[in-house]
Every structure is written in structure tokens, then in C-alpha cells.
Amino acid sequence: MQIPPGLRYTVDEARWGKSFDPTNTEHHTEEIINGYITCMLACYRTDNRKDEDLWQIFHEDFEGFTYEIFKIAHRVALRDLREQLVSQGVWVKGAKGSTSYAKVLQECLEEETPYEWTEAEIKEKRRIVQSMLQTQTQNPSQQPITQPFQQQIQTPLVQTPETLPQAALPQQTQPQWNQHQTYEQRPRQQYQPYEQARDDVPAKLLTDLMKIYSNDDKKYGGEEYDILDAKLQVFYDCCSKIGLLETQYHHAYSIMLKGRASSFYYDKIASRSYDFQIMVAMTKTHFETEENHQKYLSEWRETTLIRTISENPGKSRLECLQIMIDKLQKVQRGLTKEYHYEHNLRDQVINTYYKHHKEKLSMVTSSYDPCLLITTTKEVFGVVGMQTDDTLFLGSEEFATLEDNELQKAKLSAKPRDELSPTSNLIFNGCVLTQASDDTMILLQKDQGKKLQLVNAKEDDYQQQYLEQRARGAYIASTCQPEASYDLSVAAQHQNPTEDDIRALNKRIEWQMKNMDRGIKYIALDLTRTKLFVFVDGSFANNKDFSSQIGHLIILANETSTGTEEFEIKGNLIHYSSTKSKRVTRSVLASEIYGMVGGVDMAIAINTTIKMITEQLDLPQTPTVVCTDSYSLYECLVKLGTTKEKRLMIDIMALRQSYERREITEIRWIDGKDNPADAMTKSVPNRALEKFLTTNHLPVRVDGWVQRKGTEE
């Protein structure tokens, strides 16, 4: 990689393209740091990474950088780095007054999770992208904008059989174009007789594409609800089918246009040698304005079931619900990226009932899940969970009667109410909840287990089989089979599975097929003396790509002490997680800390909801007990041990602060053979989780703990 021409600062040519060691003071010169930043900038521009992916890469590339190191670099280099990160989806604050670029970049490095953008920050990003595009247009020799397209597969964080990955489509960085800004309009080029060039498209390919686009419904016209990004996905798919290369898209772009969009193309784009990215950016900016986005957002917020019913008096409420969903899906395409997820549509669909429960039944939302609502009045008690058009509630008879009465007053339709009993099961969110004669409850999967099949590695579509069966198995594991979580989490990391990967997945799928009736059992507890136990674990570099697997289990239980060296719990599993660590781990201690941070964060969120319930029932507060089998982690937290890794120090201090504030009541160092979280991080774990799920009891040997008495006022 060559040094870019026209830099406004100097770089060390001898160190160009080489790694930078923040601990080596010999590297702490302006020229070396400028060179490293510029080299990373060039990589970010050509690599086309963005959003959370780029946020993680930025943290890895600049790990160890401090405010003092950033301060040495030239201001222009730091400003370019900040603007490039913002333009590709990583928010970094602007430098104002006494706040320098060095400071805001360091603050971004210190973030534990990617920052959530505000509307003002999204506008700032657009301004930066427009400015960069204008500079590139006016100075094409200095900053070439043509970048290679890269294919990416984006799948939901949690896959269900309904969200199985489809064929990957190319995603491009679409620069914004502002026709009202001053720029050098490229003149139309004089017509030249046709001569076949290297990047020209054979006429047969264009003819084939025109045949596919014989139906105008596939074309983009720039009309209301006609979204360019949606039509581009069709364009990419059609081009892929006929064998049109990505570098040739600009020749075929006009074929996908109609009406006003086609007229705009021939007026402003044709015969001006723009590349495909600029063509798309100009079209999008001309037709999909900020006013349109605001209009779509207003329609999104105003589309409710009650309004749809009033607008369609001759239709049934079920038909009105479908009309509302269809309109929301159409409007959703025109909204900004943060509204494009499945949960946004789900939340908007249930918004009618959600507002009804909050306003009419005096309920508040849980910090653990916004679709979980809890009553606030002493006269009635109820906890309601919502999922699209389904609700599941636990409440007093007074609450059930009040809910029915208020629904009738509001003229809202609801399904007939089913009540859990030994003779009547409940079906909710793809699960079956049953009650035994001894009042225990069991959560089982409904029908997904019947669709499980082993993957045949000898068939041509084995990769698609692998994706489908892995997603189906993971869905079951996430609902009621925690024993399978680790194997299916590891399987999700293999984009091109080998025979060994397929064999490992088949082993777990076969276990699930044989244990379809295995789920999670819930028993009655004494709520006056419950504790929230958090079991955490981490396995250092045990994944194929040498990343670490982290996991935790959260159990609400009654504790019985059998001595100073052992305790026994009787309780219910209420949350579990097995994930690949997104952060780079350089030690066993790091993997254990990341596992504990995830478990403690989730436990605090859950305990906040439990506190809302116990206060409603006049019950004592539930203490949180964290259990780890790592002595080094236990020593860091309880005995004030330390580490040399700066990133870990922040996590350790945060955990200590939670311990001092009594958000964590106790931290216990337990025997690794009794840690049920072992099953979340290892392929051959101990039997603790299996034993607990079978009996709802677990004896745990203790190697060390600190017990605190009393409560600070």
C-alpha cells in the first residue's frame, strides 16, 4: 500500500505499513503515529466495514492507545479518522472548544458497547458523508471513490426458523449526494461510436436483464413508498442470475428505472461517467428526501389497530389486523435503518394493547424487557408478557376481571382466555407450558423438534441444510434446552462447515431429536427467602478462531447451607447464555471477567424487575450472589487484586463498585466441578447443569467466600 499523495502532514516512510506498539516509547513520534493512523484510514476506506463491525475493528487496531498518544498526532489526521469512522457508522463526538479530537477518539475507545445514535447525530453523519463525497467529486485524483463491493451476510442475533439466512446480496456503502450544494457538474460526453471495452457489458447480458425487467413492478420509479434500497436488492439478484459483474452495474442501472426516476437518470446522470455508487446516491438523495422520511415516520407512529378498524367499518377485526400489518411493512421500508428490524414491527403491532395496559391497567414496563408489564397498585396484582398478538399473564382474579372489563370498554378484540391447569396447557411464543399434579410446571418446545433432521454432508446443498438445522436447533435451545446452547453457539460460528463441523452438529441435533420432551421444570419457592444466583464461566481461546467462549446461568432459588464448605440450592433456571466473546481476550482472566460482566449485567436487569414484583407483594428484596470457579477473578474482586491489562481494569472496577453498592450481595469462589455454567463454555462439561435441570436441586462446594452482614444506610 502506497502513501496517499497530497497529505497535509508528514509520515515516517520507513515505518509506513508496519505495526504500532503503544508501549514502545520509540514509536511515540508525530510522523510514526500519523503514518499508522493514515494507514488504518486507507484500510477502512477500502475494506467497507461499518457499524458495530468497524467499531470492533477500531478497538482492536488502536488497543493500547491513550489520550497522550493521540495528542501527539497531527490534528488533520485525527479529524480525518474521526470523520471516516462517523461516515461508516461508528459515532465519535465532534471536537469543540477545549474538547480535542484526541479526547473524543479516546472516549470512543473506552466504550464498552457501541454508542446508540440520536437523530441529530444521524444528520451529522449525513453532512460528513456529503462533504466527503463533494471533495471526492471535485478532486478525483486525490481521493478515488471507487471501492470494491463486498458481499456480506446479515442475520438476526437470534435466529428462528422463520428468519433463516437467505442468499447473500451485495451491500454497498451509499454516499449521500446533495444537489443543492455547489459542485462541478460533469458535462455530457460527446457521443462516440460503440467500441467494445474491457468493462463494457456484452449486449446479450443487457438483453437478458431487460427481459427480466419486463414487469414494471420490479422497477424503481421514485414514487411514494417506492424505496430504492428494496428495488436494489431485486437488481442485485437479477444481475447475479444473468452473470453481470458488480463492476458493470453502472451500464445496467437505467434498466431498473421507470417514470420519474428514469427521466432523472437521463437528465442528470446519463453520459457523465459517474460510477454506480454515485448514480445510486444521486437518485436516492433526489427522491428520498428528509421530508419523505418524516412523513413515513409519522404514518408509522399513527398506524394503530383502532384507527385501522375505524377506517374499515365493513371488515372484521382479524382482517383489520392484517391490513395494519401490511401497511406497517410497506411504510417500514422507507424508514431509517434503526427501524428495519423485526422487533420494530412487532413492537408497533402490539403498541395498541401495550398502551392500553399502561394507561388503563396502571402498569409499568420492566427494564429487563419492554414487553413485560407489571401492575403498580396494591388493589390488583398482575404481570403481563406480550408477543405480537399473544399475551401471557400471571395475576389475581381481580386483575383478570379488570382486564376483561377494560378491553370491552375500549372495544379491543382479544383471543379467548385459557387458564393453566393440570388438564389444560398454555401455548405461547412457540412453547408449551404444562402443569403437573404436584403443581410443578414444565416448559417444552411445541413443534420445531419434529422438523429437526440430520445434515447429509454428501449432498450438494449441505451448507443450506447446516444453516437450517443449526438455526432450528438453536431456537429450541434458546427456549427450553440450555444443555444444547454451547454446541449450537459454536456451530453458528462456522460459515463454511467442514465434515467435522457437520458431525458435531449432527451429534447435538440427534440428542435433541431423542429428547423432544426435555425442557425446563419450575417448582414452587419460598419468596420470603429467595436469592438470585449468577453462575459465570469463560473458556480462553477454545473456539476454532481462537476466540473465547463465555457464558452464564441465572437461577432464582432458596438456599440451604450444609456447612461452611458447601451450600445447596433449590430453585428455577430463569436465564442462560452461551456466546462467543466479541472482545479480544489475551488471558484466561480476561475471558472469565467478560463472562462475569455479561452475567452480572443481566442479573441486575432481572433483579430490578423482581424488585418491582416483590414490592407489589410486600416481600423482602432478593439478594444477588455471584459464583465463579476462577480464583484469580475472585481475588481481583474480593481481595483487591489487580491486573496489568488496562481494558480489564475498567471491568474490574465496575464489578467492585457493584459489590460495594450491594447490587452484588456476595461473591463466592466455588469448585469448578459444581459450576453449572461449565456447560455454557465447554463441549465436554461437568454434570452440574444436567443434574440441576433434572432435580431442580444442586449442591455446590465452596472454596472461598466473604459474607457481609447488615445494610449500609
| Residue pLDDT, tens place only, 646-682 | 778 888 888 888 888 888 988 999 999 999 999 999 9
Per-residue pLDDT band for 173 (boundaries 50, 70, 90) equals: very low
- Lowest mean pLDDT across 43-47, 76-80, 455-459, 516-520: 43-47
Identify which has the larger pLDDT, 412 or 450.
Answer: 450
Full-prediction pTM beyond 0.75? no
Give the pairing type, strands 697-705 and 566-580: antiparallel
Task: Compute the distance between CA of residue 35 and CA of residue 17 in angstroms, rounded to an integer.
Answer: 8
Segments making up each domain of the chain, as ranges? 13-141, 169-181+202-288, 293-349, 351-417, 523-705
Identify which has the larger pLDDT, 466 or 145.
Answer: 466
SS3 520: strand
SS3 373: strand
How large a percentage of the chain has pLDDT more than 70? 84
- Name the CA dihedral angle for 558, 560, 561, 565, rounded to a multiple of 10 degrees: -80
> Tell me, what's the pLDDT at 177?
45
Tens-place pLDDT, residues 598-651 = 999 999 999 999 998 998 888 999 999 999 999 888 888 877 666 777 778 888
DSSP assignment, residue 682? -
Residues comprising the chain, all counted: 713
The answer to whether domain 523-705 has CATH 3.30.420.10 is: yes
> Tell me, what's the pLDDT at 550?
94
> Tell me, what's the pLDDT at 178?
46
Question: Pick from 552, 478, 461: which is nearest to 512 by CA?
Answer: 478
Q: What mean pLDDT is predicted for residues 95-100? A: 77
> Is 50 exceeded by the pLDDT of residue 474?
yes
State the residue for C-alpha cell 396502571.
362
Tens-place pLDDT, residues 679-695 = 999 988 899 999 999 99
Q: Helix H segments across 6-100?
A: 30-47, 51-61, 67-72, 75-87
Task: Compute the distance between CA of residue 432 and CA of residue 18 in angstroms, rounded to an integer.
Answer: 58
Per-residue pLDDT band for 344 (boundaries 50, 70, 90) equals: confident
> Rounded mean pLDDT of the chain?
81
How large a percentage of the chain has pLDDT more than 90? 28
